[in-house]
Structure 1
Amino acid sequence: MNTSIIRYILGLVLKMEAALMILPCIVALVYGEYKGLLSYLSVLCICAIIGFISTHKKPESHVFYLKEGCVATSLSWIILSIMGCLPFVITQEIPSFTDALFETISGFTTTGASILSDVESLSYCNIFWRSLTHWIGGMGVLVFLLAIIPLSGGSNFNLMRAESPGPSVGKLVPKIKTTARLLYIIYIGMTFIEIILLIAGQMPIFDAITTSFGTAGTGGFGIKNDSITSYSPYIQWVVTIFMILFGVNFNAYYFMLLKQWKKSLLMEEVRYYFIIIGISTAIIFFNILNLFPNAFDALRHATFQVGSIITTTGFSSVDFDIWPETSKIILVLLMFIGACSGSTGGGIKVSRIMILIKTVVKELNSYIHPRSVRKIKIDGKPVEHDVVRATNVYFITFMVVFAFSVFAISFENIGLVTSFTAVAATINNIGPGLELVGPTQNFSVFGPFSKYVLMFDMLAGRLELFPLLILFHPSALKDMVKKSNNY
């Protein structure tokens, strides 16, 4: 294993985090929060020093394979979260390291699950950093690095492949660096448009920026105790629209920029994504119609919550835990379906669900017509066998990790619905679940052990399971220890 390139990438990640911490320092200066300023400056210096030491010696080789890409990605997210939680601990606004780490991992993985009962008691700089972690994690930490830092060697695709969501990752253009830049141009552009539209709706500038960070990263950290509930219907509609837009495969936006409308509009995954949203919204709308004074309110809340859950954003405009069982079951199912591949959303992904359903249909057809040879197709193109196999393996692994996690936290004896939806909300990077982890509650009900299980689920869900699981493979562990000792 090429540990020198892994060490170098981790150093770059820490330098990047140090640079990003300048932003909450500016916020602390603006609002006169000098304790927060000192805490961020302290952590900034630590990240910068370790980062420069790690990158001082150039890698022996710039070539690395998928194994190195997975290890570098997983360790990057872990180190990023550990360093990112320190300002919360230093300011004593989240004095427990476990709770601070939970909040930070939830931020970077764009989960939005919180242990805070009073978000509004946080300082402005901590609220800003908490929301910024969503925006950083939404598109991907290493995709950001690939966009701004020249990593030579021709193996950069393995970093993007290890971090990007979906059954397969493709290049928009021949060069990975250009692809990463295009993704971030689209990402930044959409974020900026949302900020402008929210400010136009008389939302305070600070609220508009932090809310847009949470929407863009499909994270869902609210800066108010009631999430988005207290904001106007206009603001809720803007957030709804952008949650759904950020759940779309970014390839569609790339084709739009090139004015290739046919390619963009005919993407099968995107079509089914909007069909699922439309059907779910319609059913929930009629199911909750009698709970609101008029049909417009029922439609707004139904659309908002469907968009929030399927994109795994996790904002709430109402306490959906009191909705009828049919509506709650639909929302739980949407937790697992998730957004499109190549988006900032979480979950299993619409493309994987499509492949799984088409695999079942193909198997049924083989029983009826044993001699027929049919291939699974998406967008009119055959899906490679390796992609189908990887999708099946991913789904099996997902269910195993999910079942183990529910079992592990069941010793808290909190309740099946709470435990089940807590794991569903974390492994799918959603945020709120039902009952004790519902939209008006938080995850502080769990003990330290369960919180670490849920932290693992958040990281595993964001990194698509295998990049994190490879850290526990005996061969990878042995190789890392051996190479580190030699180094």
Structure 2
Amino acid sequence: MKNINIKIIISFLGLTSMLNGVFMLIAVPFSMYHNEPAQTGILLAGLTTILVGFLLWFFNRNAPKNLQKKEGYLIVTLGWLMLTITGTLPYLFSGAIPNFTNAIFETISGYSTTGSSILTNIESMPKGILFWRSATHWIGGMGIIVLTVAILPLLGIGGMQLFMAEAPGPSADKMHPRITETAKRLWLIYFLLTFTEFFLLKIAGMTWFDAINHAMATLSTGGFSTKNASIAHWNGAPIIQYIITIFMFIAGANFVLTYFALKGKLRKVFQSEEFKYYFFGVLTLTILISILIVNYQDPNLVTTINHPKPWGETESAFRHAVFQVTSILTTTGFVSADFTMWNSFATMLMFSLFFIGGSAGSTSGGVKIVRHIIMIKNSLFEFKKLLHPNAIIPVRYDGTGVPKNIIFNILAFFVLYMGIFISSSVLLTFFGLDFESAFGAAASSLGNIGPAIGSVSPVDNFAHLSIGAKWICSFLMLIGRLELFTVLILLTPFFWRKN
């Protein structure tokens, strides 16, 4: 342990806690405006979190500023645990979620941008609590660690180790050679997109409160809604659903490409191999599922009610198809229709999206499209090697050869991902879930998706899960958000060996 800088870790946890407390205080005016008793609990939670964070930072502020990989992994993982523990306080202190396990589940679901919930009547919750719930999405979406990296130069600390641990995917794209400048640009884009969606949703007919909550949940690819029926609440307002669909798609794309698009460099966007797969994948699946909805769905489904044929039904089918495909692929988890009520083929198509995820460098969870592209290319490469064993055939991505260590990392990630999914599904059956629900809950939690299949379908929630099952899902949400290695490396004995 001598080779780990403990003081800088504690100092950083304190800084993270203080920032988290400030976000809590932002929720207080929403509660005060509606004259809710919860305002006292939220205020106390915010002040307590800031005080704890200040004490941790103050007594370790003069720690040596050397930050290595080990400290980076510890800071990110422990930072998320700190966020989770302090993030439960508004729920516990206000009495909105008095049960600790439920509060942990809802909080980690928020920060990990999963969107699974244990709340059975969302609309009865205090407005301040609903805002805080959405704010946990917004904080976790880009990662409060990246936000903190942007101000680390003020403390004389380098941030590359933190950024790599926070965003450990295969994409190494940078918008600026200095990592702190990258973090600032990421958050500026994130904020501007959130404000733009809020403005458009307000114009489209949402209340200002619903608009700001759904904007935060969309850009973070989270999925928490202020309504019990999620986005299905606005099935009579197609424009709202189209706006959310567009911003889900943007949030699921690489933010570096979004930066280039905003600068007018559209050619760079469409040159991206991952973006082309992403765009045409959404388009193809939307058309296919639209056809399935129109021709094979239950005639009593909400998608056909009150829509004159033929155009009304076709538009409704297309809208729900593109909404749900984008929602699941980007791991947002908003619901406009219960896709488990479509025919079995359509449901299985939707479930298969649980294992794809959005783009690298986005706020999406899941395996990520780029990993699938490289795994498929590597598989084809192996077939070619069988026929031409002496040929040198590199795996190329975006016209550049992919280093072997990246390929091995991706293969290891996928094997580990599927192994965790299978073992956790088996474990969830031990805690009372049936086969289908266990698979759905495990895939949804690990992929940070939200709605699943079985008893945790889009029209259900996770409230009925046992205590053990909720803790398993909470752990899956955490490691899924940090892409497995960042957390699991801490469980290996060689991590703790002295150099």
Query: Who is 1:243 aligned against?
Result: 248
Tell me the CA shift for residue 48 of structure 1.
1.5
Q: 2:321 is aligned with what amino acid?
A: A
CA contact (8 A) 2:152 2:158 kept: no
Q: Please tell me the residue identity of whatever aligns with 1:369.
A: H
**Are 2:110 and 2:136, in contact at CA under 8 Å, matched by a contact in 1?**
yes
Q: For the residues of structure 2 that align with 1:350 and 1:271, how far apart are their CA atoms?
A: 10
Give the aligned residue type for 1:50: V
Aligned partner (choices 473, 483, 490) of residue 471 of structure 1: 490
Deviation at 1:50, TM superposition (A): 1.6
**Normalised TM-score (structure 1):** 0.95
The 1:346–1:44 alpha-carbon spacing in structure 2 relative to 1, beyond 3 Å, is same
Q: State how far apart, in whole Å, the 1-side matches of 2:116 and 2:496 are.
A: 30
Judged with a 3 Å threshold, the aligned counterparts in structure 2 of structure 1 residues 85 and 158 are, in CA distance, closer, same or farther, namely: same
What is the Cα deviation at residue 412 of structure 1? 2.7
| Counterpart residue number, 2:406 | 387
Equivalent residue of 2:383, what SS?
helix
Amino acid at match of 1:28: S
Deviation at 1:264, TM superposition (A): 2.0
SS at structure 2 position matched to 1:112: coil
**Could you tell me how far apart the structure 2 residues matched to 1:148 and 1:61 are?**
17
Question: Which segment is superposed worse, 147-156 or 380-389?
Answer: 147-156
Is 1:183–2:186 an aligned residue pair? yes
- Structure 1: any 5+ residue segments left out of the alignment? 480-487
Q: What secondary structure sits across from 1:9 in the alignment? A: helix
Cα deviation, residue 67, structure 1: 1.9
Other structure's SS at 2:177 match: coil
Paired AA for residue 415 in structure 2: I
| Aligned positions, number | 478
Deviations 1:164-217 (A, max 9, x none): 152233432111111001001111111111111101111100000001111010
SS at 1:228's partner residue? helix
Structure 1 vs Structure 2: percent identity of aligned residues? 38
Q: Residue in 2 aligned with 1:319? A: 338
Q: Which residue of 1 aligns with 2:46?
A: 44
Q: Matches of 2:77 and 2:204 in 1, distance apart?
A: 39
Would you say the 8 A contact 1:71–1:470 is kept in 2? no
Whichever residue aligns with residue 207 of structure 2, its letter is P
Q: Given the superposition, is the C-alpha separation of residues 154 and 376 from structure 1 closer, same or farther in structure 2, using an over 3 Å criterion?
A: farther
Deviations 1:336-388 (A, max 9, x none): 10100000111100000001101101101100111111111111111122211
Aligned pairs for 1:245-324 (under 5 A) are: 245-290=250-295, 291=297, 292=304, 293=307, 294-324=313-343
Amino acid at match of 2:30: V
Give the drift of 1:94. Answer: 1.2
1:31-430 equivalences in 2 (<5 Å): 31-33=34-36, 35-56=37-58, 57-150=60-153, 155-164=158-167, 166-231=169-234, 232-290=237-295, 291=297, 292=304, 293=307, 294-430=313-449
Using the size of structure 2 for normalisation, the TM-score is 0.93
Aligned partners of 1:475, 1:372: CA distance in 2, in Å?
37
Shift of 1:415: 1.2
In 2: Cα distance, 1:219 partner to 1:320 partner:
18
Aligned equivalents of 1:155, 1:474: Cα separation in 2:
27
Shift in Å at residue 147 of structure 1? Answer: 2.2
Relative distance call for 1:180 and 1:151 in structure 2 (3 A) is same
Q: 1:59 to 1:364 in 2, by over 3 A?
A: farther
Which range is displaced more, 408-417 or 350-359?
Answer: 408-417
CA contact (8 A) 2:354 2:443 kept: yes
Q: Could you tell me how far 1:28 is from its partner in structure 2?
A: 1.3
**Structure 2 Cα separation of the partners of residues 48 and 203 of structure 1:** 33
Deviation per CA, 1:21-69, whole angstroms, max 9, x where unpaired?
1111111111111x32211221222212221111113253222222211
**Aligned equivalents of 1:70 and 1:467: distance in 2?**
6
Match of 1:448 in 2: 467
Contact 1:288/1:323 (CA < 8 Å) preserved in 2?
yes
- Which secondary structure state, in structure 2, belongs to the residue aligned with residue 274 of structure 1? helix
**Offset of 1:82 from its aligned partner?**
1.0
Q: Unaligned regions of 5+ residues in structure 2, if any?
A: 298-303, 308-312
| Separation in 1, partners of 2:211, 2:330 | 20
Alpha-carbon offset, residue 158 of structure 1: 1.1
- For 2:31, the aligned partner's letter is A
Task: Give the superposed CA RMSD.
Answer: 1.5
SS in 2 for 1:93: coil
- Aligned residue for 1:167, secondary structure, equals coil
SS of 1:317's partner is: coil
Classify the secondary structure of the residue corresponding to 1:229: helix
The residue that corresponds to 2:310 in the other structure is none
CA contact (8 A) 1:240 1:304 kept: yes
**Equivalent position of 1:483 in the other structure:** none
Q: 3-state DSSP class of the match of 2:463?
A: helix
Matches of 2:314 and 2:203 in 1, distance apart?
25
The answer to whether the Cα contact below 8 Å between 2:168 and 2:486 also exists between their aligned partners in 1 is: no
Query: Which has the higher mean CA deviation after the structures are superposed, 82-91 or 8-17?
Result: 82-91
The one-letter amino acid of 2:22's match is: A
Change (3 A) 1:171 1:59: farther
1:443 to 1:477, Cα distance in 2 relative to 1, 3 A = farther
* 433 and 443 in structure 1: CA distance in 2 versus 1, 3 angstrom threshold: same
What does residue 484 of structure 1 align with? none
Contact persistence 1:165–1:343 (CA under 8 A)? no
Taking a change above 3 Å as real, the CA distance of residues 13 and 257 of structure 1, as seen in their structure-2 partners, is: same
Superposition deviation, residue 149 in structure 1 = 4.2
